[in-house]
Structure 1
Amino acid sequence: MIDRSRGAALIADTGRGNEAAILNAALEAFGNSGFNGASMRDVARGAGTSLSNLYNYFPSKSRLLAEVLRHANAELYARVVRAVEDAGDAASPRMRDAVRAYVGFVVDHQVAMLVSASEVRYLQGPDRERLVAERDDTQSLIEQIVAQGVESGEFRTPYPADAARSILSLCAAIATWYRPDGRLSRGQLAEQHARYALALVEAPLPRHD
């Protein structure tokens, strides 16, 4: 069972009825019980709504999972894009800030990251295809930064594609072991992984004061 305190609510209430409450309740149910163990009744109970009303929003448990993961991917991608856009034109600061943003998302939404990694296998057809495409957007952004750095000479790695995949895996894996009461603060964790990422692409590291 996942500690409910590990991460903020993923979906903000935008005034569209019970949808946000339902999706956040679904995330909690999937985090605690897995896709197979969670029931639509559990989700309805967690959202404070009726089972019939839940089905008015989502016709199946797989649609609920798909929508939860869509929100997670969208929020992660938006954070990374904003960070990269604010970082300027050079590859090193873009990579550093992209990784900081990714790590911040993992810390803020640890349960969503765990569910995304463990329960995606239950999605099929168009829902799975759409999710994979959305995940590829984030991967593509990191790959583009690595390619930019290699072309400009900022990054010296002879393995740009592998380095990009390793950076993404390194960040995503935080969800499996992170604890809010651990020895590193949120900022320290983000900075440490930014340095790991720059080391993977063989960039000159900033001085550690």
Structure 2
Amino acid sequence: MNSRSPGSQLADTGRGNEAAILNAALAAFGAQGFNGASMREVAKGAGTSLSNLYNYFPSKSHLLAEVLRHVNAELEARLRRAVGEAGDDAASRLREAVRAYVGFVVDEQLAMLVSTAEVRYLRGEDRERLVAARDRTQSIFTEIVEQGAASGEFRTPYPLDAARAILTMISSVATWYRPDGRLSRGQLSEQHARYALALLEGPLPHR
């Protein structure tokens, strides 16, 4: 199911056992879903005690919220870095944003699958915080599309609808990607960048 499973890893948090716990939780949620995974199983996977796990995370829902927060934070960081290193024109910025997003999906497929499937179990402030964080990530794309529409680079009469369609397209790669498929990571990223620019009626890269 996952290009790097069981090696998909969240970033080290710098807080002792926390990174090990988050990665064990990611593996458990990916294998059994939120309802099927147990805190005892997560503790075992992290090589810690159940009581220590509860010192870090008072409930399974809090643990899920933190896993999903880290997934989104890593994705956002990659996107902002890629866009920051791109040219000033909207087409270049969008191309690099799409490439970075698809690259993240390929590298962290399990994390993306868990992030999509298990968010429904978050409630209250945990859900509100994650939605706000995801909105910031999505705004990277909408801001680029609005820039291109204003400058005339993108000629679509439906820029915001197109931005949503692009995000849906690239996030769905996690549901079907296989590491032994015919396209490499780079080829897949480039192909989807071209799809996105075509959807916006923007300039395609020269071969």
Q: How many residues align?
A: 207
2:119 paired with 1:120:
yes
CA distance in 2, matches of 1:53, 1:142: 40
Q: How does 1:30-109 map to 2 (within 5 A)?
A: 30-109=29-108
Gaps of 5+ in 1: none
Note the C-alpha offset of 1:90: 0.3
Aligned to 2:97, what secondary structure does the other structure show?
Answer: helix
Q: 1:174 to 1:37 in 2, by over 3 A?
A: same
Judge conservation of contact 1:23–1:64 (CA < 8 Å) in 2.
yes
Corresponding residue of 2:188: 189
Structure 2 unaligned regions, length at least 5: none
Which amino acid in the other structure matches residue 191 of structure 1?
E
User: What residue in structure 1 maps to residue 140 of structure 2?
Assistant: 141
Structure 1 residue 3, shift from structure 2 partner: 5.1
The AA in structure 2 aligned to 1:143 is: T
C-alpha RMSD of the superposition: 1.3
Ranked by relative contact order (alpha carbons within 8 Å, sequence separation 6 or more), the top structure is: 2
SS state at 1:207 partner: coil
Rate the CA distance shift 1:119–1:146 in 2: closer, same or farther, 3 A: same
Q: Check whether the contact 1:8–1:108 (CA below 8 A) recurs between aligned residues.
A: no
Q: Is the alpha carbon distance of 1:117 and 1:14 closer, same or farther for their aligned partners in structure 2, counting shifts above 3 Å?
A: closer
Q: Give, in angstroms, the shift of residue 116 of structure 1.
A: 0.8
Distance (whole Å) between structure 1 residues aligned to residue 15 and residue 79 of structure 2? 26
The verdict on how the C-alpha distance between 1:64 and 1:16 changes in structure 2, with shifts beyond 3 A counting, is same
Shift of 1:53: 0.7
Please say which of residues 84-93 and 5-14 is displaced more in the overlay.
Answer: 5-14
CA apart distance, 1:8: 4.3
Distance 1:23 1:130 in 2: 18
TM-aligned CA distance change 1:177 to 1:23, over 3 Å: same
Q: Determine if contact 1:11/1:23 at 8 Å carries over to the other structure.
A: yes
AA paired with 2:10? I
Of 9-18 and 164-173, deviating more is 9-18
Secondary structure of 1:59's counterpart equals coil
AA in 1 matched with 2:183: L
- Superimposed CA distance per residue, residues 82-115 of structure 1 (whole angstroms, 9 cap, x where no aligned partner): 1111102100000000000001110111011111
Compute the displacement of 1:138 (Å).
1.4
Q: What is the aligned-residue identity percentage?
A: 73
* 1:5 Cα deviation after fit: 3.5
Q: Output the CA distance in 2 between the equivalents of 1:112 and 1:187.
A: 20
Partner of 1:158: 157
Report the AA paired with residue 78 of structure 1: A
TM-score, with normalisation over the residues of structure 2? 0.96
Q: Structure 1 counterpart of 2:125, which letter?
A: P
Judged with a 3 Å threshold, the aligned counterparts in structure 2 of structure 1 residues 107 and 34 are, in CA distance, closer, same or farther, namely: same
CA positional deviation for 1:206: 1.6
What is the CA-CA distance between 1:11 and the residue it aligns to? 2.0
Q: What residue is the counterpart of 2:168 in the other structure?
A: 169
